[in-house]
Structure 1
């Protein structure tokens, strides 16, 4: 997970009034909105700023700002634990912001839309015995016509008859 640091590509950084406005502007999947809201409410966020590829969430207290991308939230320290529902979310080391950690949003764990759910394999039944393979029939040569040089049919005829 690598992310570009700093202001937006145009060099501007505009603040958002609410988290909902920021999530809509960055087109983050709606199924992740509840998760992101729960995380930011638990941490305590003072403001949200557009940084181009991610939303920068400035903490009220001490600590690094969170970077909220389409599929991740980055900026957690070693001691922080994210629990969503009853699931403890796995934290991974950040490649772009060491020593911080990041967590993937729940949509990354869900199956792709339109994907068929996996079914358990049906129990195998013993296969019926196979019939022996037929041996290859030897091709016969019926000769070639002396006039038209076509192969003769089994009845002895050709194209010029």
Structure 2
């Protein structure tokens, strides 16, 4: 989480507080949606870190850039809790769309994969590869686009997350 008052804008504060009405009001009145605080977090980084999926969706609709990185190289997607599948889906879709719109190929995005393409089929414990399928020599590979599959997105995110682990502070179950 960003340091308290480390250059936080009113938009950052509203997002961190989960105050959707204030977020809308601030954006409607010209708040810079992609402004970074002193820790180089945007409002979208804050929404992802705090699990505010509705706010993240709204920020994205209003032009928040999911590809902006912090000084540590973290995109908003990197700050999503691994068990928050709704946020994972929103951020994977937004990140992939932004990459496509900007003509960024995953292979060209060298900060996105520390192993430079070695072992892109990072296997999970159950033998499932990063794209959600199982390696099979007899499998017919086609270039047709697959239908959306939530399990595939989860697998891709978890494989990505394992390569770019972001330590999170443990949260109390008390509230």
Q: Same fold (TM over 0.5)?
A: no
Query: Structure 1 or 2: larger strand share?
Result: 1
Which structure has the larger Rg over C-alpha atoms?
1
